[in-house]
Amino acid sequence: MRAVLDTNTALALWWFEDPQLAPLAAAIAAQRLRPIASPPLVAEWRAILLRLNAHGTTAAESATAPEYARAPTVSQAPLSLRGQQAQAQFAQWVRLVDHPDARWLATADLPCCRDPEDQKFLECAGFHQVTWLITRDKALLRLARRLKPGTAPLTIVTPEAWCRGDRNR
């Protein structure tokens, strides 16, 4: 089954190596779950990975990781060993796919996320008809509550809920 992972989930898996997400990591490694990402999603991953790399993190700082998304952009910086390992994991397990074109987006029956920066995750998931959008993002999770179960093939869940087996909205 295919899924779209938001950037926070990908970071939790491959930068922070969150032990609570071990079932998710195992499903990906066994190819029972196949993450996909379009170029805008990969660009966000890379930008935030570079910011984390530039600022460094410790286990105590991991809870504040979303703050790094607001840090100044760091471009063309070489990745630390930790950053290289996270990037290698992302590249190994996440399949690059096309992002929907404007014509498809104009006719798509997608919900609109309150945060325009998160809409790209919905667009990729909708266009490629994935089963899950796995996210910790509050705007996307609020949107999930407004979707009627069974009306769309997409289910939006937290990585923790996915790991518990609670994979319904």
Complete domains list, the chain, with CATH: 2-164 (3.40.50)
| Mean pLDDT, residues 150-156 | 72
Transcribe the chain into DSSP letters: -EEEE-HHHHHHHHTS--GGGHHHHHHHHTTSSEEEE-HHHHHHHHHHHHHHHHH---GGGGGGHHHHTTSPP--SPPPPHHHHHHHHHHHHHPEE-PPPPHHHHHH------SSGGGHHHHHHHHHTT-SEEE---HHHHHHHHHSPTTSSS-EEE-HHHHHHT----
Mean pLDDT of the chain: 84
Return the higher-pLDDT residue of 89 and 80. Answer: 89
Summarised one tens digit per residue, pLDDT across range 34-52 is: 999 999 999 999 999 988 8
Lowest mean pLDDT among 56-60, 81-85, 157-161: 56-60
Please tell me the pTM assigned to this model: 0.82
Report the C-alpha gap between 18 and 21 in whole angstroms: 6
Residue-level pLDDT at 149? 58
